[in-house]
Each structure stands twice: as structure tokens, then as C-alpha cells.
Structure 1
Amino acid sequence: MLQKKTNTSKPNADGTHNSWADKVRVTDSSTRFTLEPLSRQPLGCNLKVTEAMLLDNSAQWNRCVIGFFPGFRMPFHVVNSIASRAWRSYGLENVTTTANGFMIFHFKTEDELHIVLEKGPWMFGGKNIILQQWHPRFQFDKNKITTLPVWIRLHGLPFPLWSKQGLSLAANMVGRPLSCDELTYNYTRLEYAHLCVEVDATLPFVHRFEIESPLSVEPLTVTMDYEWKPSRCEQCHVFGHCCPTPTEEKGKGKTHVDSPASPTQLQPEPQLTSSTPLANTHIAPHPPADKPFNITPPFNPHMSYTPTPNLILL
């Protein structure tokens, strides 16, 4: 009769036993990295980190883009496959993920990273992915996203304001100015001005504003379309969800809450033909065409987009 073998090995300090693979595994110093031998801190004290320590190893992280899908979690192997196919030629080295659903895309250089961001917005398998460059204060918490970059189309903006200063002033009426697209920069599509702005979850979305200027006795009205509008919670002041208001819970009324996040389906952009008059379409000074146009904000990680999403199917 076969007898069941008992485990005669001595247990570890925590009561567990080493597996056979643990016993026969061969390791050497090449698989380990020596850390700094520091003095032990008193029990119960907090770890104090300085600004210099945070920036000491930031060079490699500055080449990373953080991405996530609003209201959706795509399997890692799908994201890795799509990103590799789309961005390998732009210097994508590898893709990693965090426990709470954020994706980290590592690039060879920051310049290649910015090329990918400028070609956005991107859609993976029909799902909109939000991208922004890593920065030391980034919080990997989807419940703490208070600012997001969005693209808007301004209708009715006077041509004299199609300059860096004028576009910046117009964008500032909606959010924090970030950038504009090439067609707006070269004013070769005059149906609307296409701008990227950073919106704040503590403030409602702006859909129109008026301009007072010597151009007209009456104020000029500028309206706008959002190419993608994230859901915004008026109670929590964050993006990504909408809490019901007390009046909605009691059924006594409804408070306007922005619709759930979903990319807006837009018609193809019309092309400017030779019959379109170009005279007097630009009066204010404009930067030379051979220089890249970027409404440069103060240091901020949030990303910019371009007009038509790059749709990548599975």
C-alpha cells in the first residue's frame, strides 16, 4: 500500500513551507541590486521626502504617458497589442499597468512622446483613451481627476482674433489654453477655430460667450461644440461620474448634469476650396508659419489633442 508522504521540512518563521522550486532555484548577485545601507528610523515616524528626491529619478518617468479609459477597463494584453502596433514607430518601448487600471506607456524620448500626444485623440477598439504626460504629482486615482484636456470648436470667432494672443484669450473663456490644430494655425479652415483647453471639474462647462470690441456696437456671440465632454459630478467636483442631487432623489426636480463620457460623432471637416475668399481673413500679427504653434501654458502634465480621433480597431 502506498503511503502518503508527509512534509518533514521545517516551516519558515511565518509558518509557510518553501516549495520544491524555491529549494532548487539558483540565484546569484546578478539578479539582485544592492540598496543603500541607511540607519534605521525610529519606529512610528513618517518618511520625509524632499523635492530634490522626487526629481532625482524623474528623467526616465518624463518619457512616460499615463493613459486610462473613462468608465471602462480594457484588458492589458489588448492595450499592449494596440499600442505596440500604433506607436512602435514613434519610439514606444514597453507598456505597463497599475493595479487600479492606469496604463503607463514608456517612450525612448520626450520628443517622440509628444508626437503621439499631438496626433491624438486616440481610440482603442472604439474606446476613448485619455492620455497625459507623467509628472511627479500625478495621482493614480480616478476619483481625484479634477482637470482634463478637451478639444472645442469655436464658431463665430472674428478673424482678427485668429492670432496666438486672440486664440489664447478665446480659449481662456472656456478653460486653460493649451494648443490649437494646424488648420487653425494656418487659418486654412475658417468654419471654426479648433482649440484644446483644460477644463476644471469645479466649474460648469461653458457653451457660449460674448465679445465686446470696436468691431461691433453690439457684443458678438461665440458658440462652441465639445468634441468629447466627460461626465462631471457637481457634488464631488471630479470627472468620471455623476452623483444624484437631493432634488433628483426626492423626485421634486432635476438638476442639469452633463451626459456620460462618450466621444462625439462629428462629420468630416470640409476642405477649403480655391473659390473661398482669403482676403482680410487675418489682421492681427501671427507667428511665422515655419515655427510650430503651441499656446504654451505653465508646467502642466495634461495633454493636447488634434481634430479627428485616431480610431484603432481590435
Structure 2
Amino acid sequence: MLHKLYHRCCDGLGHREHLVRTWKLKGEFQIYNLHRGFFLFKFNNNEDCDTILEGSNYFFVGRPLILRRWEPGMAIEKLNLSTVPIWMRFPELNLSFWSAHCLSKIASKIGHPLYMDVQTTEASWLSYALVCIEVEAGIDLPNQIDIRTYLGVTHQKVEYEWRPSSCKECKSFSHASSSCLKKQAKENVKKE
């Protein structure tokens, strides 16, 4: 299984210990550091690999672990990711919006809501709500959203645990707009 890790400052050992605790595997696995944040996982139990790939989204240091099954001939640099899960935080959220239904509607203004953390679900930590959403490449992540109610408009601050860079031209998280070859080619054609 191929894994793209977007957090480069961790060592393989710490990464492995975290995954062992998170995945609760039946067998053993090896991690091979490829390059540019990519890792290859080799499992001695195929059921473990299938369970992980079918499981929910996994995060490490607040950033998603993007997992794909390895296939012969797979070009690692050309993996086209058009969506990624990210955690968004609503600090000082009005108590009247503190429900799964309301939070889902609010979060859907930015992306597709996936789930909330335990403290948000149980409303046990009310200083902010934490929601995981899936966002599309190329969209702008706003710092504030407007919530319309029968009482008027509320301006809600939005924070992100991680802001992924993406290309607006290709609609992909595989590279930033500033290094897009497609965009550069279009600009070169306009100059001619």
C-alpha cells in the first residue's frame, strides 16, 4: 500500500509507533521511505491492508494520511488527488448551532462533512467545534463564513489544522498553482 504523508518532520520510528496504536493490526508491517513524503507499507497479512484501506480517514499530527493500494507501474509523482480530508475548527461557536445537524450545514459551506471529534459530538468542550470535512482541490478556504438565521447573519470564524496547497488550474493536490506546468504552458502560449 502506498502512503503519502504530508508532514515531513516526523521520523519513521515515531510514525510506526503511532500507526501500530491506531491500526490495531493482526500481523506485522514494514515501512519503506520512498521520497518527497511518500512511504510504502508492506503487510504480511492481506486482511490488515484491506481493513485499513476500507477504514475511515487517518490523520497523523493533524494531517491526513492519503492511502492508495500500490499497483505495478504506478507513477508516484503523478498521483492525482482531487479531494483531501481536513479538520476545521469553529471557535466560540454560538450554542444554538451546537448540534450535528447545524454543524453539518455550516461545514458544508466549505466542503463535504465527514465526522466530528468526540468532544464536539458530546458537547463536552465548548470553546470550539471540530469537524472533519473533505475539500476539493482549488477552492479557497475562508477564514470566516456567514450563517443566516431568522435573527439575521452571524459571522463565524473558521480555523484549519492544516491548509493543503493545491492547483486551481488542474484541480489537484499533487502540486501548487505556482509550480503548475499546465498553467505555465498556457502563459507561454499567451506570450507568443
Q: 2:64 aligns with which of 130, 141, 146?
A: 130
- Write the deviation string for residues 117-168 of structure 1: whole angstroms up to 9, x where unpaired: 67x6324xxxx763145479x9854552221111111135332332221121
Give the Å deviation of 1:95: 3.0
Query: Which residue matches 1:103?
Result: 40
Matching residue's letter, 2:40 = M
The alignment's TM-score, normalised by the length of structure 1, stands at: 0.44
Matched position secondary structure for 1:232: coil
Q: 1:228 aligns with which of 162, 170, 175?
A: 162
Q: 2:89 aligns with which of 124, 130, 153?
A: 153
Query: Which residue matches 1:68?
Result: 4
Query: Which residue matches 2:190?
Result: none
Report % sequence identity: 22
Q: In the aligned structure 2, how far is the partner of 1:97 from the partner of 1:159?
A: 46
Q: Which protein is bigger by CA-based radius of gyration?
A: 1
Which residues in structure 2 correspond to 1:211-290 (within 5 Å)?
211-214=147-150, 216=151, 218-239=152-173, 240-243=175-178
Matched position secondary structure for 1:173: coil
Query: Which residue matches 1:93?
Result: 28
Q: 2:118 aligns with which of 182, 190, 193?
A: 182
Q: In the aligned structure 2, how far is the partner of 1:180 from the partner of 1:105?
A: 31
Q: Which has the higher contact order (CA 8 A, sep 6+)?
A: 1
Q: In the aligned structure 2, how far is the partner of 1:233 from the partner of 1:203?
A: 9
In the superposition, relative to structure 1, how do residues 105 and 176 fare at CA in structure 2: closer, same or farther (>3 Å)? farther
The alignment's TM-score, normalised by the length of structure 2, stands at: 0.67
Matching residue's letter, 1:172 = S
Query: Which structure carries more strand by proportion?
Result: 2
Query: Which structure carries more helix by proportion?
Result: 2
In the superposition, relative to structure 1, how do residues 233 and 153 fare at CA in structure 2: closer, same or farther (>3 Å)? same
What is the number of residues matched between the two proteins?
171
In the superposition, relative to structure 1, how do residues 149 and 139 fare at CA in structure 2: closer, same or farther (>3 Å)? farther
Give the Å deviation of 1:180: 0.8
Structure 2, unaligned runs of 5 or more: 188-192
In the superposition, relative to structure 1, how do residues 226 and 130 fare at CA in structure 2: closer, same or farther (>3 Å)? same
Structure 1, unaligned runs of 5 or more: 1-63, 250-314
In the superposition, relative to structure 1, how do residues 133 and 237 fare at CA in structure 2: closer, same or farther (>3 Å)? closer
